[in-house]
Structure 1
Amino acid sequence: MKDIMGLMKQAKAMQEKMQGLQQEIADVSATGQSGGGLVQVVLNGRNELASLKIDPSLLKPEEGDILEDLIVAAHNDARTKLEVQIAEKTQALTAGLPLPPGMKFPF
């Protein structure tokens, strides 16, 4: 019975830490860029597009395809950086827990 109470306390503490982590992740942002910085994309921790900046030199009708490719590349760069930050924060929280390899929390 004593072990069950201890386990319940650990579960509650973990739940509180996870809620804090979710808020921290929501506050994280990552900037991706492409074209040598001509296109910049900022994603927040919920993987939402927070901002998009395009250098005016790219706003020519004949360069529409290039601009589209640069936006996609900048978004992918930001998403990769964001995933790394989230993984680092999650790993810090779960350090020392006996979790199976590759287990991800549902954020």
Structure 2
Amino acid sequence: MIKGLGSFGDMAKMMKVAKDMQDRMQQMQADLDTITVTGESGAGLVKATCTAKGELTALEIDPSIFVPSEKEVVEDLILAAIKDAQRKAQDRMQSEMARITESMGLPADMKLPF
């Protein structure tokens, strides 16, 4: 508490903490656009890259799987790689959120934003 301000000092401190949290959340949101994760399937024959927000940014397919009779297998491998990348993106976003909440002295499992 700031001396002489009574409960207003506590309010000022809370407002500063809230502003710091808002600034960190905005920075984290910007960072999530630049963090990438790669999911794969078929022992690496298909790779999908996503931002930590889950936006698909790249798809790499080994040409050896382009056999007309294996169309359904290729489609399944593509979907599996995308789902793997999206799961990894979600995990990464949650770990970034936990890192921020812990650095602010909040419980790691606290759900943000409120």
Same fold (TM over 0.5): yes
- The correspondence of residues 1-40 of structure 1 with structure 2, limited to 5 A, is 1-40=8-47
Q: CA separation of 1:93/1:102 partners in 2, compared to 1, >3 Å: closer, same or farther?
A: closer
Q: Which of 86, 102, 114 is 1:79 aligned to?
A: 86
| Aligned Cα root-mean-square deviation (Å) | 1.8
Q: Does 1:105 align with 2:113?
A: yes
**Where do 5+ consecutive residues of structure 1 fail to align?**
none
Cα distance in 1, alignment partners of residues 50 and 107 from structure 2: 32
Residues 7 and 102 of structure 1: is their aligned pair in 2 closer, same or farther, counting only changes over 3 Å? closer
Distance 1:19 1:102, change over 3 A: closer
Contact map agreement 2:53 2:89 (CA 8 A) in 1 = no
Are positions 1:59 and 2:37 aligned together?
no
Take 1:7 and 1:92, find their aligned partners in 2: how far apart are those partners?
20
Q: Which has the higher Rg, Structure 1 or Structure 2?
A: 2
CA distance in 2, matches of 1:2, 1:78: 47
Percentage of pairs with the same residue: 37
Match of 1:44 in 2: 51
What is the TM-score of this pair, normalised by structure 1?
0.88
Alignment correspondent of 1:69: 76
TM-score (norm 2): 0.83
The letter for the 2-side match of 1:78 is A
What residue ranges of structure 2 are gaps of 5+ in the alignment? 1-7
CA distance in 1, matches of 2:18, 2:94: 21
Distance 1:2 1:60 in 2: 71
- Aligned residue pairs total 105
Amino acid at match of 1:91: A
